[in-house]
Amino acid sequence: MFNPFGMGKDLKGMEKMVKPALEKFMKESGFVKQEELDKALERIESLEQKLSELENRV
C-alpha cells in the first residue's frame, strides 16, 4: 500500500543528503546567494562614496 507520509519522510532524507552537495557545487561554480551579493554591492557603493569624498578633498 502507498504511504504518503513515508514518502515525505524519504524526501526529507534525500534533501538532507543532496542539499549540502548542491550548495558546495554552486559555490565552486561561482554562484552566490542574493543576500551575499546585496551585501557586497552595498559595501562597494559605500567604498566608492568614501573614495569620491577623499578625491574631492584633494
How does pLDDT run across 14-55, given as a tens digit for each residue? 888 898 998 899 889 988 889 999 999 999 999 999 999 999
Residue located via cell numbers 513515508: 6
Range 5-13 average pLDDT: 80
pLDDT reading at 58 higher than 70: yes
Residues 6+ apart with CB under 8 A from 32: 40
pLDDT recorded at residue 1: 57
- Give the residue with greater pLDDT, 58 vs 20: 20
